[in-house]
Amino acid sequence: TRKRINSEERGAIYGALNDKSDPTRKKRDEHAEKYYASTRKRNTKKEVSVIAENTGIDAETVNKAYKHLFVEKHDLAKGYTYFDPDYDIAQSWQRLREGKRIQPHDLTLIKHEAAEAEYMAQGMSYDEAHAKAEQVGYNYMKELIEFLRGGEQDA
């Protein structure tokens, strides 16, 4: 599972759902669940095309990231399943899809997930592939925490 950002790491309060308005994260978790479910139902070709156009990242990389994050199941500690929905990733993906207020960590998300997918395809476990993707410079979590500490307002 992906690391959750706690209120100390989060720093600034942002968006309609935040540590103050949603201290138990229940609303954010529900939002992420719904967003991931709706994203899984989208036309892959259109989803990839729109995000590639919005970001300038090649469609092959976007496709790997999209399928890895939302479509494919993985051998995880809790079994063979999808990744747990994550509110911050849902927010990043929404900005990438809409092409508005795209942040550097949003672009890193695509590169991280595509690299992680490639490493897992080579036989690495999720944990190994995740660490390797961060090691080669695609550290979404670090960039997200820096963004949140910077006091940026997230829509």
Calpha distance 30→62 (Å, rounded)? 25
Per-residue pLDDT, averaged over 113-127, amounts to 97
Per residue in 74-107, pLDDT tens?
Answer: 999 999 999 999 999 999 999 999 999 999 999 9
Pairwise pLDDT comparison (20 vs 97), residue with the higher score = 97
Closest to 133 in 3D by CA, of 63, 86, 83, 65:
65
Residues 6+ apart with CB under 8 A from 60: none
SS3 (DSSP) at 76 = strand
pTM: 0.85
DSSP for 2-16? PPPPPHHHH-S--SS
